[in-house]
């Protein structure tokens, strides 16, 4: 967390995050045009944001794209902010954080656990419900099999999809179609990729949500930081988050 606070302490780095919040997946050249400093200066600030886990990069052909990773900020919120906040404050924050233009979202998080235990937490419906707003994700996790997202005790069907790739405990790819209201239902099917890489006694989890239309409703991807924060909290401590969003269907 010290690296995150240090990175956020600089106004230029905060402005870089704001710029990626406005338009994700930008190249260094695109970001350089928006700041009155040298290319090297922008690179230096981006490097510090990467080291803090606040920015994630992806190669696409010859281009290196930079994506905002809000998970570390979500962890700070869950640890130091949410316990002092009333539910209505969180609701106002969610409205403010809605994005207008998104094609792809990339999230990264380090969790002190084994790949096998992390994989189980992703595919086991009872465990998944602990950090997934109370919703279980049901499937036999075979390629071509259906996925159903449900809250059984409230008889709520939130979404569905299809398994595209399975390589336990390293990679899982599936489609996702949100169904909880007409607005998200209109967005159609998108794709979610889970990638697990073992690093020492921990796992590096990368979640990529793509095939989003430009201007897609942020409800279909805005919950990932809270979900991943809850996943990390449960695996490392056995405790459940009590933020308002986490208790949505509890």
Q: How many CB atoms lie within 10 A of CB 140?
A: 9
Q: What tokens appear for 50 in the block?
A: 């990467």
Question: What's the pLDDT at 5?
Answer: 85
Question: What's the pLDDT at 95?
Answer: 45
pLDDT digits (tens, 9 = 90+) for 5-19: 888 888 899 999 999
Question: What's the pLDDT at 241?
Answer: 79
Distance CA 234, CA 171 (A): 21
Q: What is the mean pLDDT of each run of 10 residues along the chain (250 residues)?
A: 84 91 90 88 92 89 89 74 52 47 81 98 96 94 97 91 97 96 93 97 96 90 92 93 66
pTM for this entry: 0.66
């Amino acid at each position: 967390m010290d690296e995150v606070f240090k990175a956020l302490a600089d106004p230029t780095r905060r402005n870089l995050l704001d710029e990626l919040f406005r338009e994700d997946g930008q190249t260094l050249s695109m970001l350089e045009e928006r700041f009155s400093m040298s290319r090297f200066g922008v690179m230096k600030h981006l490097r510090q944001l990467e080291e803090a886990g606040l920015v994630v990069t992806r190669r696409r052909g010859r281009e290196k794209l930079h994506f905002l990773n809000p998970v570390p900020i979500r962890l700070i919120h869950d640890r130091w902010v949410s316990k002092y906040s009333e539910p209505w404050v969180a609701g106002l924050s969610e409205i403010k954080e809605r994005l207008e233009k998104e094609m792809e979202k990339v999230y990264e998080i380090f969790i002190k656990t084994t790949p096998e235990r992390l994989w189980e937490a992703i595919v086991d419906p009872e465990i998944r419900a602990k950090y997934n707003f109370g919703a279980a994700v049901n499937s036999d996790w075979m390629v071509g099999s259906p996925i159903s997202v449900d809250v059984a005790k409230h008889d709520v069907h939130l979404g569905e999809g299809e398994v595209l790739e399975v390589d336990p405990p390293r990679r899982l790819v599936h489609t996702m179609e949100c169904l909880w209201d007409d607005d998200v239902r209109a967005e159609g099917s998108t794709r979610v990729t889970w990638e697990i890489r073992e690093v020492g006694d921990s796992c590096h989890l990368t979640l990529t949500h793509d095939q989003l239309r430009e201007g897609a409703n942020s409800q279909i991807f805005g919950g990932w930081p809270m979900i991943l924060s809850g996943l990390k909290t449960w695996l490392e401590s056995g405790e459940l988050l009590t933020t308002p969003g986490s208790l949505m269907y509890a």
